[in-house]
Structure 1
Amino acid sequence: MTVMIDQKKFRQALGRFTTGIAIATTCKEEGTPVGLTINSFNSVSLDPPMVLWSIGRNSPSRTDFEDAGHFTINVLGSHQIPLSNNFARPGDKFSEVAWESGRTGAPVIPDCIATFHCKTAFCYEGGDHIIFVGEVENFEMNEGEPLLYLDGRYGVARPHPDTA
């Protein structure tokens, strides 16, 4: 029995769950950088250290990530809204963005609050998305507040008044 779900309302309901925003990056075989804004990033395991994220099945860069065998997750700080917007659009996203080659060869975006260098361990089909699970080979962490996404717009984290 198939249940019909209103996709617009389903997306709105999912938006009630606050997520962080990151940029997943890799390089094409010839070395061209590839990246996109994501909010589907989670920890999976501490031993071994693993994370996951997902990409739309119809994303133009999906096969680049599948073929590369590695990726970097650049977790954005609250000051990086322009980067999030840049990597959420189509086209050349790196033309005006400073970056350096990371441990796996995937682009690292400076000044992010966390960076995870990963080797692709598994790819799973998940409906209209492909789920990447990566083994973390290295990571960096910097000071700053995370950039959040809630109810279709950006937000920032604040301590709850009951725990301040």
Structure 2
Amino acid sequence: MDDRLFRDAMGKFATGVTVISTKVDERVHGMTANAFMSVSLNPKLVTISVATHAKMHSLLKQSGKYAVNFLTEDQKPLSMLFAGQMKDEPFEVDFDELGGTPVIPDSLAVVACDIVEAYDVGDHTLFVGAVTDIQVNEGEPLLFHAGKYSRKHEFA
């Protein structure tokens, strides 16, 4: 099967939109991702999947920690920025901090983690994080389906 067919099939699964954030040498970095999952309740573990060629891959190995910021439907510009879709537009992001990790203010939820395992799988690495802190806010999620952003009410 070809890559396009695989991508089209995977795109049929509606997901939330997250930004993975970390800090290296006092500089904050972010990457939009929808490859996130909760793994375990006891201990509290989550996993993100990052392409081995992505800049974030080496940054996570250096920092040893990350935050998963669940975006609200009003934070679509942040998703686009960290997905590299707004390169020519000036955009300043002020980060907060949770458990020593940079986080996006007003996200629907934020999970701060220390990396406890990393598994190379195909052209990605699965970074398993032990949850060190959580923050939850009110709002509606930003969703992604069939290659485009969606809002919860569009699925109702």
What TM-score do you get using the length of structure 1 for normalisation?
Answer: 0.87
Structure 1 residue runs without a partner (length 5+): none
Partner of 1:98: 94
Partner of 1:15: 11
C-alpha distance in structure 2 between counterparts of 1:153 and 1:142, whole Å: 24
Percent identity, aligned pairs only, is 37
Aligned residue for 1:13, secondary structure, equals helix
C-alpha distance in structure 1 between counterparts of 2:55 and 2:95, whole Å: 21
Deviation at 1:60, TM superposition (A): 1.6
Partner of 1:137: 132
User: Which protein shows a greater Rg?
Assistant: 1
Structure 1 runs, 4 residues or longer, greater than 6 Å off: none
Deviation at 1:49, TM superposition (A): 0.7
Q: Are positions 1:50 and 2:35 aligned together?
A: no
C-alpha distance in structure 2 between counterparts of 1:86 and 1:68, whole Å: 22
Q: Are positions 1:80 and 2:61 aligned together?
A: no
Partner of 2:150: 155
C-alpha distance in structure 2 between counterparts of 1:10 and 1:35, whole Å: 26
Higher strand residue share: 2
Deviation at 1:145, TM superposition (A): 1.0
Partner of 1:64: 59
Partner of 1:120: 115
Question: Does the 8 A contact of 1:121 with 1:135 survive in 2?
Answer: yes
Instruction: In structure 2, give the amino acid aligned to 1:115.
Output: V
Aligned residue for 2:55, secondary structure, equals coil
| Alpha carbons of structure 1 residues 146 and 125: separation in structure 2 relative to 1, 3 Å | same
Instruction: In structure 2, give the amino acid aligned to 1:9.
Output: L
Please, which of 84, 89, 108 is the counterpart of residue 89 of structure 1? Answer: 84
Partner of 1:27: 23
C-alpha distance in structure 1 between counterparts of 2:69 and 2:9, whole Å: 26
C-alpha distance in structure 2 between counterparts of 1:157 and 1:46, whole Å: 26
Within a 5 Å distance, the mapping from 1:33-44 to structure 2 comes to 33-44=28-39
Root-mean-square deviation (CA, aligned residues, Å) is 1.9
Question: Does the 8 A contact of 1:33 with 1:106 survive in 2?
Answer: no
Instruction: In structure 2, give the amino acid aligned to 1:124.
Output: Y
What is the aligned length?
153
Deviation at 1:43, TM superposition (A): 0.4
Instruction: In structure 1, give the amino acid aligned to 2:95.
Output: W
Structure 2 residue runs without a partner (length 5+): none
Give per-residue Cα distances to partners, 1:73-131, cap 9 Å, x unaligned. Answer: 1110111100000011187xx9601112321x221110100000101011111111111
| Alpha carbons of structure 1 residues 83 and 123: separation in structure 2 relative to 1, 3 Å | same
Deviation at 1:59, TM superposition (A): 0.5
| Alpha carbons of structure 1 residues 33 and 9: separation in structure 2 relative to 1, 3 Å | same
